[in-house]
Structure 1
Amino acid sequence: MLEQQMKRPQINKKRGFYVKMKLLHKHGRPQEKSSCCFLRYYKWLLWLSLTLYFFTSYLITNNNNNNDKLTSLSKTHAFSSSKSTVVASRALIELTLNDSLKPRVNKIGLLRDLKIYVYDLPPNFNADWLANERCSNHLFASEVAIHKALLTSEVRTFDPYEADFFFVPVYVSCNFSTVNGFPAIGHARSLLSSAVNLISSEYPFWNLSRGSDHVFVASHDFGACFHTMENVAITDGIPSFLKNSIILQTFGVTNRHPCQDVENMVIPPYVSPESVRKTLEKAPANGRRDIFAFFRGKMEVHPKNVSGRFYSKKVRTAILRKYGGDRRFYLQRHRFSGYQSEIVRSVFCLCPLGWAPWSPRLVESVVLGCVPVIIADNIRLPFAEAVRWPEISLTVAERDVGMLGIILEHVAATNLSAIQRNLMDPTVRRALLFNTPIEQGDATWQVLSTLATKLGRSHRRSAVSAQ
């Protein structure tokens, strides 16, 4: 009979446990000395077996834990100011094993039966604004680009009675201020209200669905709230006549926000495909990138403006103060129309928030092969199914901008080449650019494929299902 007595050491609990054994006769009496050699051999064999068992169990458990860590940390670690240890969650988004195994959604079939009716509104709602060439080329021009693409799209129907969705083409971002040249959208609510009054009085479709299958574009700072300053946008909220509709907007955050309290889709800001093509044609033939970290844009030395608010939540000011004299950082405060030629020469492109979290730099960086460094807490990025943002970008917390140098140097020494390879994927670039006519997989195509998943909002589909 084998008697086992398992005791834990009292001196150091971290040493684990050991097994103390004494071999007894089957009747409980000690074995005779004549068989001591065999029993000693048997004792050590049993001891070895138990040791191997516990050691193997430890290795399996520890290996599983390590695998979990490796999926998120082994590619790149980054430092966080909130902890002294190396972490990745705040400073860097990395692809996890589970994410990498998720199948990409194939939505080609979803567009075959999709039908969209484009309202033919009077020119004061859209065409008249095109007299200013900037209207169709500035960063808010997705409202123009989507309209133009739909006019020649295969999903367009000229019969509104067979339409799943109705597109309302109102350009609200083409009224440029004579003072600073920025879009002035103070007229947006009244212009949109006039358009809704027109289509609801001349067509039956708005009233049938209460606007739930009608699509609008809000391609400026705070989207459906139609104001450029967040505090005013929140106070004004979304116009009541649009609250049942679908809003395509560049604004998006992961937390609750009044300006996305509506059925909405985050779209990328507009970047001209033609300008990208020309920049790539002039890029260095050897692909050399001689700028380590790049940013050109508004950086205030004293960020508090006359309204008492801090531009960029002081993030850009912190970057300028910390790295303005750092030779690794190419920081420029003045505008330069050909700045895409600088992006195509850069390894990392800083994309800090401005008044709103999003920026055209996100798109420009990706399509020109520069790793975007997103500095905008809680930002919701466009087309997450088509653009695997964790594979092509870095995310640095606003509070950690003082550690940008350490973070970027670490990435450059570890997994930079993998990120750059992912950036070269043509499907990623295509998904962020608006083309006319639509190209499969481009930004307008992504909008249509997402609309195809919202057919439950279509009055026509609901009426057919009810029959």
Structure 2
Amino acid sequence: MTKLFRAIIVVLMFRIDWKKLFFVCAILTIGSIVIQISSLPYPLTEWVFSPPPSILSHKSLNPTVHLGQSQSLAVDNQLETVQDGSVANPLNSTDKVNQPIVKRRRGRKRKKLIDIVPPPPPLKRLPRHLERYLSSSAPDEVLAYIKRDIENASLASDDDPELYAPIFRNISTFKRSYEWMERMLKVYIYQEGESPIFHEPHLYGIYASEGWFMKLMEENRQFVTKEPEKAHLFYLPYSARQLQSALYVRNSHNLRPLSIFLRDYVNMLASKYPFWNRTHGSDHFLVACHDWGPYTLKEHEELIRNTIKALCNADVSERIFIAGKDVSLPETTIRNPKRPHRNVGGNRVSQRPILAFFAGRRHGPVRPRLLEYWSDKDDDMKIYASLPNRVSRFMSYPEHMKSSKYCICPMGFEVNSPRIVEAIYYECVPVIIADNFVPPFSEVLDWSSFSVTVAENDIPKLKEILIAIPLKRYLIMQTNVKKLQKHFLWNARPVRYDVFHMILHSLWTSRLNQIQIQ
């Protein structure tokens, strides 16, 4: 026994390298701790690796939402009863102070935190007898009641901080209509159709609006219904951009195969369900931002005449888009779907030395005239066919817009231009030159309060028109552009009054306009 004990002591004292043993044990201990931490559920891992000053919401495509600890519990409780999301202001808008940024480890993306207002309170319950009436009535009877109520809307109080009355035609009517939409609107989405043309949103580029609307509509739980008998609107979930990409034969100049494809799709729905034939398609809608969107409808008479068409190419002269029935869709350029608000914001008025700016290709009949009269003719008018390298290496296209008082938005081959929304993003007063264009949301927004419209024939007098605008008037318009901005922003999780809801409200308004009140 004594020999065994001595042998053990000898091994412990002389045979074991204690430094190596301690080093191995330390590595094993640290490794086990890291493994246990990484197995913790979110957001505990975030708290360990990079503890924020307050609870962070789940990471989405938008920048992370920052809520105070005192607000977070109340917000979680309210989310059970209100619509998705709450308004997040653009990060680099001059309308807001700079937001804090949490620095992460090297190689990791930084999280941007946005202070937001809590979600709006839940809508007040209707009287029980009215709830019973609305729940037991047919969709058109419900819409007739709502239309009468909207027309009799009383003067709205200023209790909604997210609405700015000067940019609206009638804020009382808009608020009442919007509240009814939140409360009642139901949309049925046809499941028929295969990708890539159907149910596959295209989320970047100048035609991104149709893709973002499709994505957010199909993800929505508040407005979408699985019961078509309860629907007020029926959505044809195809992408004009994907249709063009899949079926158009390059350089053929033939859109008829695209039109025939849509004709056959609608005929299939009409033969399978009673809903199209019941109204001849007047309660159905489509959303198309591609320039060819209107022209791909020509093979189906009811599709082109009766359906509510949300189009970027909102040109009344071609008699396809019908003002008051159809919806003008904003043309929003999205370069990074994960950061749709990138570069939003602009310089203060004192840092806008350029009177007017335009740079773009010579598309259509209007832009060549603009360039003929103003390209390299006046130092105050920065008008280019394309931004020259000698200029762009010192100031980029977005920087030009952010440094200009007015951004010129002439039509190209079609009436709409992504520059209109870009100007709004960069807080530059848009100058629209497109005689037959119906601006987005013009049924509720007063475009004269935040933009300038110049007739195509008045291009030679463009500078004269702009310098004749008093400074006070310009300052009001520029302020209004900043207040307008939120209504043209896409959010991965839609928030109240954003562009998704504004498009939906335009569709809702068009549907209400169909209702005849006796």
Counterpart selection for 1:165 from 203, 219, 233:
233
Partner residue of 1:330 out of 375, 379, 382: 382
Structure 2 distance, partners of 1:421, 1:261, is 31
The answer to whether the Cα contact below 8 Å between 1:117 and 1:165 also exists between their aligned partners in 2 is yes
For residues 494 and 254 of structure 2, what CA distance do their matches in structure 1 show? 29
In structure 1, the partner of 2:341 is 277
Match in the other structure for 2:438: 380
1:27-106 equivalences under 5 Å are 103=172, 105-106=174-175
> What is the deviation of 1:241?
4.0
Other-structure match for 1:213: 283
**Cα distance between partner residues in 1 of 2:209 and 2:291:** 13
- For 1:366-404, what per-residue CA distance to the aligned partner results, in whole angstroms no more than 9, with x for missing partners? 121011111111321111244321011111111111111
Distance 1:287 1:189 in 2: 51
Identify the residue that residue 35 of structure 1 maps to in structure 2: none
Q: Against the structure 1 CA distance between its residues 447 and 213, is the aligned structure 2 distance closer, same or farther, given a 3 Å change threshold?
A: same
AA matched with 1:451 = L
Secondary structure of 1:270's match?
Answer: coil
Residues 359, 148 of structure 1: alpha-carbon distance in 2 compared, 3 angstrom cutoff? same
The 3 A distance-change label for structure 1 pair 244 and 285 is: closer
1:170-215 CA distances to partner (integer Å, 9 max, x unpaired)? 11223358979xx996643123123213322333322333222111
Whole-angstrom CA distance in 2 between matches of 1:146 and 1:162 = 22
2:204 corresponds to? 137
Aligned to 2:191: 120
Partners in 1 of 2:300 and 2:397 — Cα distance?
Answer: 35
Q: Work out the CA distance in 2 between the residues paired with 1:264 and 1:238.
A: 17
Give the C-alpha shift of residue 168 in structure 1: 0.8
**Structure 2: segments with no counterpart, 5+ residues:** 1-165
Query: Please, which runs of 5 or more residues in structure 1 have no aligned partner?
Result: 1-96, 228-235, 300-310
Q: Aligned pair 1:420/2:478, yes or no? A: yes
Q: Quote the Cα distance in structure 1 between the aligned partners of 2:482 and 2:191.
A: 39
Give the structure 2 partner of residue 316 of structure 1: 367
* Contact 1:294–1:346 (CA under 8 A) maintained in structure 2: yes
Aligned residues: 334
Alpha-carbon distance change, 105 to 241 in structure 1, aligned in 2, over 3 angstroms: closer
CA distance in 1, matches of 2:497, 2:481: 16
- Computed over aligned residues only, the root mean square deviation of the Cα atoms, in angstroms, reads 3.6
- Establish whether residue 349 from structure 1 lines up as the match of residue 407 from structure 2: yes
Corresponding position of 2:327 = 265
CA-CA distance at 1:116 after TM superposition? 0.5
Which residue number corresponds to residue 306 of structure 2? Answer: 244
- Per the normalisation by structure 2, the TM-score is 0.57
Match of 2:351 in 1: 288
How many angstroms does 1:431 deviate by?
2.1
Identity percentage over the alignment?
Answer: 26
More displaced stretch, 218-227 vs 107-116: 218-227
Instruction: Say if 1:407 and 1:284 are closer, same or farther in 2 by CA, change over 3 A.
Output: closer
TM-score of the aligned structures, taking structure 1 as reference length: 0.62
Question: C-alpha distance in 1, partners of 2:204/2:211?
Answer: 9
CA contact (8 A) 2:240 2:293 kept: no
In the alignment, the residues of structure 1 paired with residue 375 and residue 260 of structure 2 have an alpha-carbon distance, to the nearest angstrom, of 44
Q: Cα distance, 1:166 vs. partner? A: 1.0
